[in-house]
Every structure is written in C-alpha cells, then in structure tokens.
Amino acid sequence: MKILIAYHSGTGNTEKVAKSMKEGLVEEGQDVSILPAKEVDPSSLKSYDLVFLGSGIYGGAIGKTMKDLMSKVTEFAPKFAFFNTHASPTAYQKAFSRIGKKIEKNNSVVLGEFDCIGENIGIPQEKQIEMLSKLPAEQKKKAEEHMEKIKGRPDDKDLERAKEFAKSLLNK
C-alpha cells in the first residue's frame, strides 16, 4: 500500500507521533512517505491509497499549513486517517470535522482518528505561570494538575499507541 503521512507540528509533538506511525507502517512492509503539510503537493494526494493527516491542536483548531493544504485538494485518496496532539482535555474533539466532511463529500472514507496529549511546550513556563495566577483557586488547581499530567508527553507509551493505531488501519 502507498501511504502518505502529512503533518503540521508547531512544537514537535505531532512530528514525533507521525514518525512513530511511519515506523510501525514500515515494519509492516508498507511504502510510506512522511512530509510536513507545507511540503505536500495538494494534487499528489490522489496517488496514495491511504493518507494520514496530523496536526497539533491550537485553540481547538488544526494548524494553518494543514488547513491550507486541504483547502487546495481537489482529488482525494480513497482512505484517510487523522491524528492530533493537544494540551487540552476537550478542545481537540472536533478539530478535523470540517476536513472530514470534505473528504467524505468527495467519496473518500475516514478510517479513524488518533489523539494524543502533548506537553504545551509552545508557551514559555513564565507565561503559563502568569496565566495560572489569573484563575480562581479551584480552576487553578485543576489546571496545575493537568499540566503535571501532560508533562513529557507524548511519551514512549503514547508513541507505541500511535504506531499500533496506524498498523490497525491496514486491513480496513
């Protein structure tokens, strides 16, 4: 199977997940290309059997280069899958919905979506502390607990889960 993994990664978290997915697919003998979304030729998607689209989630939305890529695609691969990294407990859930609708409208199918918590390394520690200081006590406590939970993520377990997710789509 000819597979493309295209991704937008502002902090490097989504790129780590993309590379792990590629590793798993190559282990299964697949022909896999991996590229940042900004380097993907929109007309090339039709030449793949399966396309993975990945992005960090920023304020509930996917990254600009992924949006730009998908806005220019006119011919689609038959199968797609989504993956994302995010620091939010909920803001990632509908980030790919608009792209998913466009894909399905063009007679392609979305096989699944993988999400992974990622440490918010895009915001300096000082800024995070300043943001926390403005929260009411109960919200601040929850936010601090969440920040501790996501520290160092994606970790080895997350990357292994990403690899297994990618491999699980091969027979769909």
Q: What is the pLDDT of residues 21-52, one digit of tens each?
A: 999 999 999 999 999 999 999 999 999 999 99
| Structural domain harbouring 136 | 121-152
Question: Which pLDDT score is estimated for 93?
Answer: 67
- Is residue 18 within 8 Å of 83, Cβ to Cβ? yes
- Is residue 14 within 8 Å of 85, Cβ to Cβ? yes
Number of domains in the chain: 2
Question: Which pLDDT score is estimated for 62?
Answer: 93
Q: Which two tokens stand for residue 8?
A: 């937008």
For residue 104, pLDDT over 80 is answered with: yes
- Asked if 37 and 99 sit in the same domain, the reply is yes
- Asked if 57 and 37 sit in the same domain, the reply is yes
- Asked if 160 and 128 sit in the same domain, the reply is no
- Asked if 102 and 136 sit in the same domain, the reply is no
- Asked if 109 and 132 sit in the same domain, the reply is no
- Asked if 82 and 99 sit in the same domain, the reply is yes
- Asked if 63 and 75 sit in the same domain, the reply is yes
What is the mean predicted confidence (pLDDT) over 110-138? 83
- Asked if 51 and 125 sit in the same domain, the reply is no
CA 130 to chain CA centroid, nearest Å: 28
What is the mean predicted confidence (pLDDT) over 82-93? 79
Average pLDDT, the chain: 91
- Asked if 18 and 40 sit in the same domain, the reply is yes
How many angstroms separate the Cα of 78 from the Cα of each of 1, 125, 140, 169? 12, 43, 45, 13
Residue 30 neighbours by CB under 8 Å, 6+ apart: 1, 3, 170
- Asked if 10 and 78 sit in the same domain, the reply is yes
- Asked if 130 and 164 sit in the same domain, the reply is no
Question: Which pLDDT score is estimated for 164?
Answer: 97
pTM for this entry:
0.89
What is the mean predicted confidence (pLDDT) over 88-106? 84
Question: Which pLDDT score is estimated for 141?
Answer: 84
- Asked if 148 and 160 sit in the same domain, the reply is no
- Is residue 166 within 8 Å of 28, Cβ to Cβ? no
Please write the tens of the pLDDT for every residue from 46-75.
999 999 999 998 878 899 999 999 999 999
Give the single-character DSSP code of 122.
T
* Alpha helices (runs of H) in 86-155, residue ranges in sequence order: 97-105, 125-133, 137-150
Distance CA 47, CA 107 (A): 15
Could you tell me the CATH number of the domain that includes residue 100? 3.40.50.360
Q: Which of 49, 71, 73, 75 has the alpha carbon at shortest distance from 62?
A: 71
Lowest mean pLDDT among 13-17, 90-94, 107-111: 90-94
For residue 92, pLDDT over 70 is answered with: no
